[in-house]
Amino acid sequence: MNELIVAGQYNIGHICTTHQCKSGLKDKTAMRWVSAHHERTDYTFGDLDAASNRFANLLDTLGVLPGDIFFTFLPKMPEQFFAFLGTLKHRTICGTLFSNFGEDALLDRLSDSKATGIITKKSFLRKIKRIWPQLPELRFVILVDIDEHSEENVYSYKQLMDAASAEWTTALTPPETPSVLHYTSGSTGKPKGALHAHRSVLLQNSTTRDVLAVNSNDIYWCTADQGWVTGTSYGIIGPWSLGVTQVHFGGVYDASVWMDLIQTERITVWYTAPTALRMLMRESPELYAPFDLSSLRHISSVGEPLNPEVMVWGEKILGKKIYDTWFQTETGGILIPNRPGTPIRHGSMGKPIDEIEAAILSDDGSQVGVNTHGNLCIKSGWSSMFITYINNQEKYDSRFRDGYYYTGDTAYRDDDGYFWFVGRSDDVINTSGHLVSPFEVESALLELDEIVESGVVGVPDDLLFEKVITYVALRDGITIAPELDLKIKLHISNRLSSIAAPHEVIAIEKIPKNKSGKIMRRVLKAWYLGLDAGDISTMED
């Protein structure tokens, strides 16, 4: 196998393109692009290399300097990948923004980061223009869909790329050089800008191979949007650093279309999220009957705990086990996963990868025993560890104590070394002296046919300290009658414990989620208490 790092060159853009070409993959398909209208275009590693070289040259022409911050603000499309890799080759920091962000979300991130430039689409320019007066550092905008430069500081991607050379030599990039900037998805508070370094490629590469089980002959599909860490770490960096062919699909979720994509493209490895799997689970089993999904060899999931019910469904309908993996924006890559060779325990997120040491610590920093809830911590210094929260070193420092990084998640370890997610530390419910995991209650609720999704929160209570409140989205045509209310409470009481049984069941049309599909429990809590829900810029429309 080829070495990943040659002569100290850690540059991610270089490794994913030039290095692959030099290793003999110039003519191999790097990306099969399938547009929303199902047109297919193949790009080789040679094409990726040339386009990202042009983009690096283009940034040079515009006077961008290494270390500046540049953003992509695009839906999934080939230009986004070229821009991302080219920006990294240039040693400029690349941030990625969800394409459906509104003005406030954009303003927050662009002003906090003091971004120099941004690549986007014509239809998004209006949003940017409205906030541009408040962004003195923002020098230019590049539009992917105009043929010629249109006005001052608004450039045509096409015109710039046509004028740029396809030759570029990436400067030697030491491992600590800043690379990618991701604002966290904001499930628990205001988004924070986690800054990464080029060395992250080591872990992203090895986990794509060993955890996601991707090898050089695979056809790999990662459904995550490039706006969040899974989309860059495992939708760009990991697979291309291994020289793997990726399918990228520009369309939205549609169960039949997705199954057709797997069948037609003969996708072998698929990385997706519980929210997508829960949506697929809602479809009738007949939907899947006509599709030949036999190409699928390995399926993994990330972003939220994987409900046991979903794992059972996966084996039955997709014919494969689903491997849960745990990581965060801050960790840059997968740290605690289920992976080939280690038996899965339904509901557990698996065992730490070899490179890291994970620990369950109490609030005072001491190790807690097995099967006891505590703070999920990682020994500082893994290769994809974030460098800082941009403009918030204090917050960064507060996450580290005695050589451990505190993830903000609560978990426990069982006798055999499996880790079990309990909840985000601020989401875990403390009721009558017992800890209740909202995830466990939500998973048990999925067993009831009437319930499509749920969100469980704890709210203050004089007697119990906190009481359990359950929001449910019900199947079409079902309403919350007293019988159903009782059925839900009894079900939780029987399945988990009477302590976890909800005090109140409230039906709503849709459970609030953020753009990466996570249930925003803090929003539910605020609704219940009649408080302002705070920053909801990452909430799904």
- The residue range among 238-246, 285-293, 407-415, 529-537 that interacts with ligand ATP, by the rule CB under 6 A, is 407-415
The set of residues, in sequence order, having a beta carbon less than 8 Å from that of 541 and lying 6+ positions away, is: 100
Is residue 246 a contact partner of residue 222, using CB atoms and an 8 Å limit?
A: yes
Q: Minimum Å distance from CB 25 to ligand ATP?
A: 31
Q: Which of 47, 68, 225, 304 binds ligand ATP (CB under 6 A)?
A: 304
Q: Minimum Å distance from CB 48 to ligand ATP?
A: 26
Which amino acid would we find at residue 65?
Answer: L
The set of residues, in sequence order, having a beta carbon less than 8 Å from that of 24 and lying 6+ positions away, is: none
- The residue range among 195-203, 234-242, 320-328, 381-389 that interacts with ligand ATP, by the rule CB under 6 A, is 320-328
Token pair recorded at residue 229: 């860490």
35 near ligand ATP, rule: CB under 6 A:
no
Q: Minimum Å distance from CB 151 to ligand ATP?
A: 36
421 near ligand ATP, rule: CB under 6 A:
yes
- Which CB atom, from 24 or from 189, has the smaller least distance to ligand ATP? 189
349 near ligand ATP, rule: CB under 6 A:
yes
Nearest to 97 by CA among 134, 141, 53: 141
Q: Minimum Å distance from CB 350 to ligand ATP?
A: 9
410 near ligand ATP, rule: CB under 6 A:
no
Q: Minimum Å distance from CB 64 to ligand ATP?
A: 28
Q: Minimum Å distance from CB 186 to ligand ATP?
A: 4
21 near ligand ATP, rule: CB under 6 A:
no
- Which CB atom, from 54 or from 278, has the smaller least distance to ligand ATP? 278
Rounded to an integer, what distance in angstroms lies between the CA atom of residue 340 and that of residue 326? 15
68 near ligand ATP, rule: CB under 6 A:
no
3-state SS string for 453-501: EEEEEEEEECCCEEEEEEEEEECCCCCCCHHHHHHHHHHHHHHCCCCCC
275 near ligand ATP, rule: CB under 6 A:
no
Is residue 227 a contact partner of residue 99, using CB atoms and an 8 Å limit?
A: yes
457 near ligand ATP, rule: CB under 6 A:
no
- Which CB atom, from 205 or from 537, has the smaller least distance to ligand ATP? 537
231 near ligand ATP, rule: CB under 6 A:
no
Is residue 321 a contact partner of residue 311, using CB atoms and an 8 Å limit?
A: yes
Give the full edge-to-edge strand order of the sheet including 504-507: 451-461, 465-474, 504-507
Q: Which of 228, 249, 271, 386 binds ligand ATP (CB under 6 A)?
A: 228
Is residue 54 a contact partner of residue 86, using CB atoms and an 8 Å limit?
A: yes
Q: Which of 18, 20, 328, 383 binds ligand ATP (CB under 6 A)?
A: 328
Q: Which of 54, 518, 521, 525 binds ligand ATP (CB under 6 A)?
A: 518
Site for ligand ATP, residues 359 to 398, rule: CB under 6 A = none
The set of residues, in sequence order, having a beta carbon less than 8 Å from that of 36 and lying 6+ positions away, is: 250, 251, 252
329 near ligand ATP, rule: CB under 6 A:
yes
What's the DSSP call for residue 122? G
The two beta strands, 93-97 and 322-326, are: unpaired
SS3 content of the chain, % helix, strand, coil (to 5): 30, 25, 45
> Greatest CA separation found in the chain?
70
Token pair recorded at residue 93: 């920091």
Q: Minimum Å distance from CB 222 to ligand ATP?
A: 14
- Which CB atom, from 218 or from 225, has the smaller least distance to ligand ATP? 225
User: Distances in Å between the alpha carbon of 38 and those of 4, 35, 257?
Assistant: 34, 5, 10
Which amino acid would we find at residue 92?
Answer: T
The set of residues, in sequence order, having a beta carbon less than 8 Å from that of 511 and lying 6+ positions away, is: 453, 454, 455, 471, 473, 519, 524
Q: Minimum Å distance from CB 49 to ligand ATP?
A: 30
Q: Minimum Å distance from CB 311 to ligand ATP?
A: 12
- Which CB atom, from 168 or from 326, has the smaller least distance to ligand ATP? 326
Nearest to 183 by CA among 523, 526, 514: 514
Q: Which of 99, 185, 245, 275 binds ligand ATP (CB under 6 A)?
A: 185
Q: Minimum Å distance from CB 230 to ligand ATP?
A: 8
Q: Which of 326, 389, 404, 420 binds ligand ATP (CB under 6 A)?
A: 326
Interface residues with ligand ATP (CB under 6 A) are 184-189, 191-192, 228, 302-305, 324-326, 328-329, 349, 407-409, 421, 424, 516, 518
